[in-house]
Amino acid sequence: MNRVERTLRSLDRFQQRHTPTAVVFGVVKKYGDDRGGLLAALICYYGFLALIPLLLLLSTALGFVLHGRPGAQRAVLDSALADFPIIGDQLRQNVHSLQGNGLAVAIGALGLLYGALGIAQVLQHAMAEIWNVPGVRRPGYWPRLVRSLLLLAVLGTGLLLATATASLVATSLTGLPARIGGLLVSAMLNTALCLGCFRVLTPGGIPTRALWPGCLLAGPLFTLLQAFGSVLVTHELRHAGQVYGFFATVIGLLFWLYLAAQITVYAAEANVVLARHLWPRSLRQPPLTDADEQVLESVARQEERRPEEQVEVAFTDGDTAPPDQAEQAEQAEQADGGKTDRRSGPEP
Protein backbone atom coordinates (compact mmCIF):
# COMPACT_ATOMS: atom_id res chain seq x y z
CA MET A 1 0.00 0.00 0.00
CA ASN A 2 1.56 3.29 -1.14
CA ARG A 3 1.60 6.56 0.79
CA VAL A 4 -1.42 8.03 -0.99
CA GLU A 5 -3.46 4.92 -0.31
CA ARG A 6 -2.50 4.91 3.36
CA THR A 7 -3.45 8.58 3.67
CA LEU A 8 -6.84 7.98 2.08
CA ARG A 9 -7.48 5.00 4.32
CA SER A 10 -6.62 7.08 7.40
CA LEU A 11 -8.98 9.86 6.30
CA ASP A 12 -11.66 7.26 5.64
CA ARG A 13 -11.34 5.78 9.13
CA PHE A 14 -11.46 9.26 10.66
CA GLN A 15 -14.61 10.38 8.85
CA GLN A 16 -16.39 7.11 9.60
CA ARG A 17 -15.68 7.33 13.35
CA HIS A 18 -17.09 10.87 13.73
CA THR A 19 -20.80 11.37 13.10
CA PRO A 20 -20.68 15.00 11.78
CA THR A 21 -18.07 14.20 9.13
CA ALA A 22 -19.73 10.87 8.33
CA VAL A 23 -23.10 12.56 7.74
CA VAL A 24 -21.58 15.29 5.56
CA PHE A 25 -19.63 12.76 3.51
CA GLY A 26 -22.73 10.57 3.28
CA VAL A 27 -24.70 13.46 1.78
CA VAL A 28 -21.94 14.23 -0.73
CA LYS A 29 -21.59 10.55 -1.66
CA LYS A 30 -25.35 10.15 -2.08
CA TYR A 31 -25.34 13.26 -4.29
CA GLY A 32 -22.82 11.55 -6.55
CA ASP A 33 -24.69 8.22 -6.54
CA ASP A 34 -27.87 9.98 -7.71
CA ARG A 35 -26.06 12.07 -10.35
CA GLY A 36 -27.04 15.21 -8.48
CA GLY A 37 -25.11 17.44 -10.86
CA LEU A 38 -27.29 16.34 -13.79
CA LEU A 39 -30.46 16.82 -11.74
CA ALA A 40 -29.34 20.34 -10.77
CA ALA A 41 -28.56 21.14 -14.42
CA LEU A 42 -32.05 20.01 -15.48
CA ILE A 43 -33.65 22.13 -12.76
CA CYS A 44 -31.55 25.11 -13.84
CA TYR A 45 -32.49 24.67 -17.51
CA TYR A 46 -36.23 24.50 -16.91
CA GLY A 47 -35.98 27.24 -14.30
CA PHE A 48 -34.45 29.49 -16.95
CA LEU A 49 -37.21 28.57 -19.42
CA ALA A 50 -39.82 29.48 -16.80
CA LEU A 51 -38.12 32.67 -15.63
CA ILE A 52 -37.67 34.39 -19.00
CA PRO A 53 -41.39 34.37 -19.95
CA LEU A 54 -42.23 35.25 -16.35
CA LEU A 55 -40.09 38.37 -16.60
CA LEU A 56 -41.61 39.19 -19.99
CA LEU A 57 -45.11 38.85 -18.56
CA LEU A 58 -44.13 40.79 -15.45
CA SER A 59 -42.59 43.67 -17.35
CA THR A 60 -45.62 43.85 -19.65
CA ALA A 61 -48.07 43.87 -16.74
CA LEU A 62 -46.00 46.49 -14.94
CA GLY A 63 -46.03 48.59 -18.09
CA PHE A 64 -49.81 48.90 -17.75
CA VAL A 65 -49.97 49.19 -13.98
CA LEU A 66 -47.08 51.57 -13.38
CA HIS A 67 -47.89 54.12 -16.05
CA GLY A 68 -48.46 57.37 -14.19
CA ARG A 69 -48.68 55.67 -10.79
CA PRO A 70 -45.72 56.49 -8.53
CA GLY A 71 -47.25 54.50 -5.66
CA ALA A 72 -47.31 51.31 -7.72
CA GLN A 73 -43.72 51.92 -8.82
CA ARG A 74 -42.63 52.22 -5.20
CA ALA A 75 -44.49 48.99 -4.32
CA VAL A 76 -42.52 47.12 -6.97
CA LEU A 77 -39.21 48.53 -5.79
CA ASP A 78 -40.02 47.45 -2.20
CA SER A 79 -41.19 43.96 -3.14
CA ALA A 80 -39.27 40.69 -3.08
CA LEU A 81 -38.63 41.04 -6.82
CA ALA A 82 -36.31 43.98 -6.20
CA ASP A 83 -33.86 41.67 -4.40
CA PHE A 84 -33.70 39.22 -7.31
CA PRO A 85 -30.14 39.18 -8.71
CA ILE A 86 -29.65 41.06 -12.00
CA ILE A 87 -33.39 41.41 -12.62
CA GLY A 88 -33.86 43.52 -9.50
CA ASP A 89 -31.26 45.99 -10.73
CA GLN A 90 -32.99 46.18 -14.10
CA LEU A 91 -36.32 46.95 -12.40
CA ARG A 92 -34.79 49.71 -10.28
CA GLN A 93 -33.14 51.34 -13.30
CA ASN A 94 -36.01 50.99 -15.78
CA VAL A 95 -39.16 51.11 -13.67
CA HIS A 96 -40.25 54.32 -15.40
CA SER A 97 -39.72 53.03 -18.94
CA LEU A 98 -41.59 49.71 -18.85
CA GLN A 99 -44.19 49.34 -21.58
CA GLY A 100 -46.44 46.47 -22.58
CA ASN A 101 -48.96 45.22 -25.12
CA GLY A 102 -51.46 42.40 -25.48
CA LEU A 103 -49.30 40.20 -27.73
CA ALA A 104 -46.48 40.22 -25.20
CA VAL A 105 -48.93 39.22 -22.48
CA ALA A 106 -50.17 36.23 -24.53
CA ILE A 107 -46.65 35.08 -25.42
CA GLY A 108 -45.46 35.52 -21.87
CA ALA A 109 -48.43 33.61 -20.42
CA LEU A 110 -47.96 30.63 -22.75
CA GLY A 111 -44.22 30.55 -22.19
CA LEU A 112 -44.68 30.85 -18.45
CA LEU A 113 -47.15 27.95 -18.38
CA TYR A 114 -44.82 25.72 -20.40
CA GLY A 115 -41.72 26.55 -18.39
CA ALA A 116 -43.45 26.41 -15.00
CA LEU A 117 -44.98 23.00 -15.67
CA GLY A 118 -41.63 21.83 -17.01
CA ILE A 119 -39.70 22.76 -13.90
CA ALA A 120 -42.41 21.28 -11.68
CA GLN A 121 -42.17 17.98 -13.56
CA VAL A 122 -38.37 18.00 -13.35
CA LEU A 123 -38.46 18.71 -9.62
CA GLN A 124 -40.80 15.75 -9.08
CA HIS A 125 -38.46 13.56 -11.12
CA ALA A 126 -35.49 14.77 -9.09
CA MET A 127 -37.19 13.98 -5.78
CA ALA A 128 -38.13 10.50 -7.01
CA GLU A 129 -34.52 9.89 -8.07
CA ILE A 130 -33.12 11.18 -4.79
CA TRP A 131 -35.49 9.00 -2.73
CA ASN A 132 -34.77 6.08 -5.13
CA VAL A 133 -38.44 5.39 -5.83
CA PRO A 134 -38.78 2.44 -8.27
CA GLY A 135 -40.19 3.43 -11.63
CA VAL A 136 -43.16 1.11 -11.22
CA ARG A 137 -44.27 3.05 -8.11
CA ARG A 138 -43.95 6.55 -9.57
CA PRO A 139 -47.16 8.48 -10.38
CA GLY A 140 -48.46 8.87 -13.90
CA TYR A 141 -48.85 12.02 -15.97
CA TRP A 142 -52.13 13.31 -14.54
CA PRO A 143 -51.16 12.96 -10.86
CA ARG A 144 -47.88 14.71 -11.69
CA LEU A 145 -49.79 17.49 -13.44
CA VAL A 146 -51.99 18.01 -10.37
CA ARG A 147 -48.89 18.20 -8.18
CA SER A 148 -47.33 20.67 -10.61
CA LEU A 149 -50.30 23.01 -10.36
CA LEU A 150 -50.30 22.65 -6.58
CA LEU A 151 -46.60 23.53 -6.51
CA LEU A 152 -47.23 26.66 -8.54
CA ALA A 153 -49.97 27.66 -6.10
CA VAL A 154 -47.61 27.17 -3.14
CA LEU A 155 -44.87 29.22 -4.82
CA GLY A 156 -47.30 32.01 -5.72
CA THR A 157 -48.59 32.16 -2.16
CA GLY A 158 -45.05 32.27 -0.84
CA LEU A 159 -44.15 35.15 -3.15
CA LEU A 160 -47.17 37.14 -2.00
CA LEU A 161 -46.32 36.52 1.67
CA ALA A 162 -42.70 37.47 1.11
CA THR A 163 -43.70 40.70 -0.63
CA ALA A 164 -46.19 41.63 2.09
CA THR A 165 -43.67 40.86 4.83
CA ALA A 166 -40.95 42.89 3.14
CA SER A 167 -43.28 45.86 2.88
CA LEU A 168 -44.31 45.51 6.54
CA VAL A 169 -40.72 45.35 7.77
CA ALA A 170 -39.73 48.29 5.58
CA THR A 171 -42.50 50.47 7.00
CA SER A 172 -41.96 49.38 10.64
CA LEU A 173 -38.17 49.60 10.84
CA THR A 174 -35.43 51.64 9.23
CA GLY A 175 -31.70 51.29 8.74
CA LEU A 176 -29.74 48.25 9.91
CA PRO A 177 -32.53 46.82 12.12
CA ALA A 178 -34.81 46.73 9.10
CA ARG A 179 -32.20 44.86 7.11
CA ILE A 180 -31.51 42.31 9.85
CA GLY A 181 -35.20 41.87 10.61
CA GLY A 182 -35.97 41.42 6.95
CA LEU A 183 -33.31 38.69 6.64
CA LEU A 184 -34.60 36.80 9.69
CA VAL A 185 -38.21 36.95 8.56
CA SER A 186 -37.19 35.98 5.04
CA ALA A 187 -35.25 32.96 6.38
CA MET A 188 -38.31 31.75 8.29
CA LEU A 189 -40.61 32.26 5.32
CA ASN A 190 -38.19 30.52 2.97
CA THR A 191 -37.95 27.58 5.38
CA ALA A 192 -41.73 27.26 5.51
CA LEU A 193 -41.94 27.64 1.73
CA CYS A 194 -39.31 24.91 1.24
CA LEU A 195 -41.28 22.60 3.51
CA GLY A 196 -44.46 23.23 1.53
CA CYS A 197 -42.71 22.64 -1.80
CA PHE A 198 -40.86 19.55 -0.59
CA ARG A 199 -44.13 18.11 0.72
CA VAL A 200 -45.76 18.56 -2.67
CA LEU A 201 -42.79 17.18 -4.61
CA THR A 202 -41.77 14.28 -2.37
CA PRO A 203 -43.51 10.90 -2.81
CA GLY A 204 -46.48 10.46 -0.49
CA GLY A 205 -44.98 7.56 1.46
CA ILE A 206 -42.32 9.81 2.97
CA PRO A 207 -43.43 11.38 6.30
CA THR A 208 -43.33 15.16 6.63
CA ARG A 209 -41.01 15.00 9.65
CA ALA A 210 -38.33 13.53 7.37
CA LEU A 211 -38.38 16.74 5.27
CA TRP A 212 -37.59 19.20 8.06
CA PRO A 213 -33.76 18.85 8.20
CA GLY A 214 -33.25 19.77 4.55
CA CYS A 215 -35.73 22.65 4.80
CA LEU A 216 -33.97 24.05 7.88
CA LEU A 217 -30.78 23.98 5.81
CA ALA A 218 -32.21 25.29 2.54
CA GLY A 219 -34.32 28.14 3.96
CA PRO A 220 -31.41 30.22 5.35
CA LEU A 221 -29.23 29.35 2.35
CA PHE A 222 -31.90 30.62 -0.06
CA THR A 223 -32.13 33.80 2.01
CA LEU A 224 -28.37 34.33 1.80
CA LEU A 225 -28.44 33.57 -1.91
CA GLN A 226 -31.21 36.11 -2.38
CA ALA A 227 -29.55 38.75 -0.19
CA PHE A 228 -26.02 38.40 -1.51
CA GLY A 229 -26.76 36.92 -4.92
CA SER A 230 -26.34 40.25 -6.68
CA VAL A 231 -22.91 40.77 -5.08
CA LEU A 232 -21.85 37.23 -5.94
CA VAL A 233 -23.03 37.41 -9.54
CA THR A 234 -21.48 40.86 -10.00
CA HIS A 235 -18.15 39.51 -8.72
CA GLU A 236 -18.28 36.59 -11.14
CA LEU A 237 -19.18 38.84 -14.08
CA ARG A 238 -16.98 41.87 -13.38
CA HIS A 239 -14.97 41.16 -16.54
CA ALA A 240 -17.60 39.24 -18.54
CA GLY A 241 -19.88 42.27 -18.69
CA GLN A 242 -17.27 44.26 -20.63
CA VAL A 243 -16.71 41.45 -23.12
CA TYR A 244 -20.13 39.88 -23.63
CA GLY A 245 -22.40 42.82 -22.86
CA PHE A 246 -26.02 41.71 -22.53
CA PHE A 247 -25.06 38.02 -22.68
CA ALA A 248 -23.29 38.46 -19.36
CA THR A 249 -26.72 39.01 -17.81
CA VAL A 250 -27.87 35.62 -19.10
CA ILE A 251 -24.68 33.97 -17.84
CA GLY A 252 -25.13 35.53 -14.42
CA LEU A 253 -28.76 34.48 -14.25
CA LEU A 254 -27.88 30.89 -15.15
CA PHE A 255 -25.12 30.91 -12.53
CA TRP A 256 -27.58 32.07 -9.86
CA LEU A 257 -30.21 29.53 -10.87
CA TYR A 258 -27.66 26.71 -10.78
CA LEU A 259 -26.67 27.66 -7.24
CA ALA A 260 -30.34 27.57 -6.23
CA ALA A 261 -30.75 24.17 -7.89
CA GLN A 262 -27.69 22.83 -6.05
CA ILE A 263 -29.14 23.97 -2.72
CA THR A 264 -32.42 22.21 -3.54
CA VAL A 265 -30.76 18.92 -4.48
CA TYR A 266 -28.37 18.89 -1.52
CA ALA A 267 -31.21 19.68 0.90
CA ALA A 268 -33.21 16.73 -0.45
CA GLU A 269 -30.15 14.46 -0.24
CA ALA A 270 -29.67 15.47 3.40
CA ASN A 271 -33.26 14.47 4.13
CA VAL A 272 -32.71 11.00 2.65
CA VAL A 273 -29.39 10.41 4.42
CA LEU A 274 -30.76 11.43 7.82
CA ALA A 275 -34.09 9.60 7.41
CA ARG A 276 -32.47 6.30 6.34
CA HIS A 277 -29.30 6.62 8.45
CA LEU A 278 -27.08 6.31 5.36
CA TRP A 279 -23.77 6.78 7.12
CA PRO A 280 -20.93 6.07 7.47
CA ARG A 281 -19.98 5.67 3.81
CA SER A 282 -16.60 4.38 2.71
CA LEU A 283 -14.17 6.63 0.91
CA ARG A 284 -12.14 3.71 -0.44
CA GLN A 285 -13.62 0.32 -1.33
CA PRO A 286 -13.43 -2.49 -0.50
CA PRO A 287 -14.85 -3.03 2.00
CA LEU A 288 -18.34 -1.62 1.59
CA THR A 289 -20.18 -0.38 4.65
CA ASP A 290 -23.80 -1.29 5.39
CA ALA A 291 -24.82 2.20 4.23
CA ASP A 292 -22.92 1.69 0.95
CA GLU A 293 -24.77 -1.55 0.26
CA GLN A 294 -28.12 -0.01 1.18
CA VAL A 295 -27.62 2.90 -1.24
CA LEU A 296 -26.37 0.70 -4.07
CA GLU A 297 -29.31 -1.66 -3.59
CA SER A 298 -31.78 1.25 -3.67
CA VAL A 299 -30.20 2.65 -6.84
CA ALA A 300 -30.51 -0.73 -8.53
CA ARG A 301 -34.10 -1.34 -7.41
CA GLN A 302 -35.30 2.04 -8.67
CA GLU A 303 -34.80 0.76 -12.23
CA GLU A 304 -37.84 -1.51 -11.93
CA ARG A 305 -40.27 -0.35 -14.62
CA ARG A 306 -42.98 -3.04 -14.63
CA PRO A 307 -44.86 -4.99 -11.93
CA GLU A 308 -43.59 -8.21 -13.54
CA GLU A 309 -39.98 -7.05 -13.15
CA GLN A 310 -38.09 -7.73 -9.94
CA VAL A 311 -34.51 -6.64 -9.36
CA GLU A 312 -32.45 -8.71 -6.94
CA VAL A 313 -29.17 -7.36 -5.55
CA ALA A 314 -26.36 -9.44 -4.04
CA PHE A 315 -22.90 -8.47 -2.80
CA THR A 316 -19.75 -10.58 -2.76
CA ASP A 317 -16.50 -10.18 -0.90
CA GLY A 318 -14.27 -7.51 -2.37
CA ASP A 319 -11.40 -9.93 -2.93
CA THR A 320 -13.43 -12.48 -4.90
CA ALA A 321 -15.01 -11.58 -8.21
CA PRO A 322 -18.11 -13.47 -9.40
CA PRO A 323 -17.57 -15.74 -12.41
CA ASP A 324 -18.71 -14.39 -15.73
CA GLN A 325 -21.32 -16.01 -17.93
CA ALA A 326 -18.79 -17.97 -19.96
CA GLU A 327 -17.30 -19.53 -16.85
CA GLN A 328 -20.77 -20.34 -15.53
CA ALA A 329 -21.68 -22.03 -18.80
CA GLU A 330 -18.48 -24.04 -18.74
CA GLN A 331 -19.09 -25.11 -15.15
CA ALA A 332 -22.64 -26.17 -16.04
CA GLU A 333 -21.32 -28.19 -19.00
CA GLN A 334 -18.80 -29.95 -16.81
CA ALA A 335 -21.44 -30.65 -14.19
CA ASP A 336 -23.77 -32.49 -16.64
CA GLY A 337 -20.97 -34.51 -18.23
CA GLY A 338 -20.59 -32.46 -21.41
CA LYS A 339 -24.14 -33.09 -22.63
CA THR A 340 -24.78 -29.37 -23.20
CA ASP A 341 -23.86 -28.00 -26.62
CA ARG A 342 -23.21 -24.23 -26.49
CA ARG A 343 -24.17 -23.80 -30.14
CA SER A 344 -27.37 -25.76 -30.32
CA GLY A 345 -28.47 -25.77 -26.68
CA PRO A 346 -29.26 -28.78 -24.51
CA GLU A 347 -30.06 -32.12 -26.15
CA PRO A 348 -33.75 -33.07 -26.31
Q: How many CA atoms lie within 13 A of 49 on its CB side?
A: 17
C-alpha distances (whole Å) from 276 to each of 31, 126, 132, 218, 295 are 15, 18, 12, 19, 10
Residue 265 burial (CB < 10 Å; 0-12/13-18/19+)? buried
346 forms beta bridges with 340
User: How far apart (Å, rounded) are the C-alpha atoms in residues 278 and 134?
Assistant: 18
Q: Residue 211: its pLDDT value, please? A: 96
Q: Please provide the DSSP assignment of 236-285 as one string.
A: HTTTHHHHHTTHHHHHHHHHHHHHHHHHHHHHHHHHHHHHHT-----SS-
C-alpha distances (whole Å) from 280 to each of 171, 243, 314 are 49, 47, 20
Tell whether the torsion through CA atoms of 82, 88, 93 and 99 is positive or negative.
negative
Q: Which of 130, 157, 137, 154 is nearest to 43 (CA)?
A: 130
**Tens digits of per-residue pLDDT, 300-323?**
999 999 999 999 999 987 655 455
Judge if the upstream peptide bond of residue 287 is cis by omega within 30 degrees of 0: yes
**Tens digits of per-residue pLDDT, 173-216?**
667 777 787 788 889 999 999 999 999 999 888 999 999 999 99
Tens-level pLDDT at each residue, the chain (348 residues): 688 888 999 999 999 999 999 999 999 999 999 999 999 999 999 888 887 777 666 666 665 666 666 666 556 555 545 555 555 555 555 555 555 566 767 777 787 788 888 999 999 999 999 999 999 999 999 999 999 999 989 988 887 787 677 667 666 766 777 778 778 888 999 999 999 999 999 988 899 999 999 999 999 999 888 877 666 665 555 555 555 555 666 777 788 899 999 999 999 999 999 999 999 999 988 889 999 999 999 999 999 999 999 999 999 876 554 555 545 555 555 555 544 444 444 443
